[in-house]
Structure 1
């Protein structure tokens, strides 16, 4: 706020307004906005969460087990279902925006890019969502955004938690598109109606890759787990899984069953040492919009 001359930026007002409306166990809670004596003295009083998943993934001695991954993902999906039912798209889902309390409760945070949307859907800028988690329709310049962009990012998060590393760590938009094609095959009008009319399709020469390689990437994952990932990674946004589809997936009903949040590990040693600065390349790129 110290550089602002004309009051609170519209992006901050948007975020504050949204957060004050939202009340869900898996969404970070804005308790109140406190104003001091000066223009720059504006404080958001938030519910306290001990850690974020990105720094945990960087520093954990052993990765989350599959039962723990399921516990985390179910909680994120519940929060997303609540957001989408209230016509809100988060537009920046990633592990660094997922917070976890010492009771194992996972909360989605950082609503700086979130938008309420209506029907018909109005055009929005495609330059949203951190690159590694950005859906192909955004990379190809779509002017309309739906809740499906959050669901693509959810697929990236699930895959990252299962593989213990980012799934699609692109270094540029062109590289990001190429990584998606390598993993899922080349998109076409058959599987993605309207694909050839997307604004930026002409700027990319997509490699010819007829195969979906998710099974090779996760050879140990159950059929139900692969089905869920494939559903989240549908090229056609209209066919992509919704948050409700994710919650109803048989993946969460088979062994290993999701652990209870209270049984999630706690990380006092991680919290008590000073926060590790985001110097590593992975941490930096995971967090950059």
Structure 2
């Protein structure tokens, strides 16, 4: 049985959560306490850092890999996009900095400082540099993660999300491309540009529905809910769990209507029992529900255990009030059954696209070194920096023997 936090009642099953008037729900919308933390000040110049290469460019900034000239540390340097014709600091940047400061955790990307350039519009956030994002890693890997590895990754993700929720922060954009992973098997949640404190006043119009990348968006947001809670992040966690198992996104829809249809097909259409509040959602009346059918989880995921299916179904639950919390999920039996979670140090290593490392060729060490007796290792030739080339060996056997 999952353990519950001290401010909520015990749960016997996700579909039968008892409720009491004197205790807040697990996915609380109550006003949070004010958080006090030391301010970040732009005490140093961006010229204290040497830019190495661009990692990515998004709507709210450009991210570079850089080196601290004083310490030699490799960092991620995010240049915020500021409009010179408008006054003020972008709300997304403020939210990201505030959220990262409020949610310091070993599985949340660390913020080091804020630095400035020559003008007031040149503002940079300095963060820890992490070698990979999970989306790129899944694309690069020849085979899916082992179950023991998936458990380790999921426990780290749930720990980070639970920590954010305990500090009243909704991430609102959890997806594999926003989960960074180093070469020591540690993942860190990143990109808090859409994060917000979920107890803040939401105004007359309520909370925006323009959050969460489509494939990871919870059904209550798809159906127009104007208020939502930590449960939206937990739906995204469920989609990530499925993606780690399948090695591809679970719901690859081209639009919201197609996505709703995919969800109905996997979970079965919602009913008054599975989602009592469904009929009251703004867009529910515009949908024609398909005929009743049972969930298709076992058909979609034939190779995971019954406990794994149960955890996945608890995350991908229609009713946000019944959706499992991060704290509950960490206590799920899936994580204590065989195979046990693998220690992060035992994860394999992969070339980092963000660091400019590239696959040049894949060879067999057995061919080059017959003494290995035909054991296949992958030899990767990497380009770390301009004019610097090295060989990188991934010697982790991706076999169930080593789970």
SS at match of 1:12: helix
How many Å apart are 1:258 and its aligned residue?
Answer: 0.8
1:65 maps to 2:146: yes
Deviation string for 1:224-249 (max 9, x for gaps)? 10110111111110000000111001
**Partner of 2:305 in structure 1?**
222
SS at match of 2:238: helix
**Partner of 2:232 in structure 1?**
149
How many Å apart are 1:66 and its aligned residue?
Answer: 1.0
1:97 maps to 2:178: yes
**Partner of 1:282 in structure 2?**
none
**Partner of 1:118 in structure 2?**
199
How many Å apart are 1:42 and its aligned residue?
Answer: 0.9
How many Å apart are 1:47 and its aligned residue?
Answer: 0.8
**Partner of 2:357 in structure 1?**
273
Match of 1:264 among 347, 355, 359: 347
1:243 maps to 2:326: yes
Larger radius of gyration: 2
1:3 maps to 2:83: yes
**Partner of 1:206 in structure 2?**
289
Q: Which has the higher contact order (CA 8 A, sep 6+)?
A: 1
- Map 1:9-24 onto structure 2 (within 5 A): 9-24=90-105
How many Å apart are 1:10 and its aligned residue?
Answer: 1.6
How many Å apart are 1:117 and its aligned residue?
Answer: 1.4
How many Å apart are 1:4 and its aligned residue?
Answer: 3.8
Contact conserved, 2:102 with 2:167, CA < 8 A, in 1?
Answer: no
How many Å apart are 1:149 and its aligned residue?
Answer: 0.4
The verdict on how the C-alpha distance between 1:47 and 1:119 changes in structure 2, with shifts beyond 3 A counting, is closer
TM-score (norm 2): 0.66
Q: In terms of mean alpha carbon deviation, does 197-206 or 2-11 score higher?
A: 2-11
Deviation string for 1:126-185 (max 9, x for gaps)? 121111110100000001110000000101000110111111111100000000000000
How many Å apart are 1:75 and its aligned residue?
Answer: 0.3
What's the C-alpha RMSD, in Å, of the aligned pairs? 1.7
Separation in structure 1 between the aligned mates of residue 352 and residue 175 of structure 2, nearest angstrom:
24
Separation in structure 1 between the aligned mates of residue 333 and residue 142 of structure 2, nearest angstrom:
30
1:137 maps to 2:220: yes
SS at match of 2:114: strand
The verdict on how the C-alpha distance between 1:231 and 1:39 changes in structure 2, with shifts beyond 3 A counting, is same
Separation in structure 2 between the aligned mates of residue 193 and residue 206 of structure 1, nearest angstrom:
15
Separation in structure 1 between the aligned mates of residue 311 and residue 320 of structure 2, nearest angstrom:
15
If each structure's strand is expressed as a fraction of its own residues, which one has the higher value?
Answer: 2
Contact conserved, 1:182 with 1:213, CA < 8 A, in 2?
Answer: yes
Unaligned 5+ runs, structure 2: 1-80, 360-403
Separation in structure 1 between the aligned mates of residue 223 and residue 84 of structure 2, nearest angstrom:
34
How many Å apart are 1:22 and its aligned residue?
Answer: 2.1
How many Å apart are 1:3 and its aligned residue?
Answer: 3.3
Contact conserved, 2:174 with 2:237, CA < 8 A, in 1?
Answer: yes
If each structure's helix is expressed as a fraction of its own residues, which one has the higher value?
Answer: 1
Q: In terms of mean alpha carbon deviation, does 44-53 or 2-11 score higher?
A: 2-11
How many Å apart are 1:209 and its aligned residue?
Answer: 3.5
Contact conserved, 1:178 with 1:206, CA < 8 A, in 2?
Answer: no
TM-score (norm 1): 0.91
Contact conserved, 2:82 with 2:89, CA < 8 A, in 1?
Answer: no
How many Å apart are 1:269 and its aligned residue?
Answer: 6.5
Unaligned 5+ runs, structure 1: 276-289
Match of 1:28 among 109, 112, 123: 109
SS at match of 1:268: coil
Q: Which runs of at least 4 in structure 1 moved beyond 6 Å after TM superposition?
A: 119-122
Deviation string for 1:192-248 (max 9, x for gaps)? 111101001122222224210001111221111011011111111000000011100
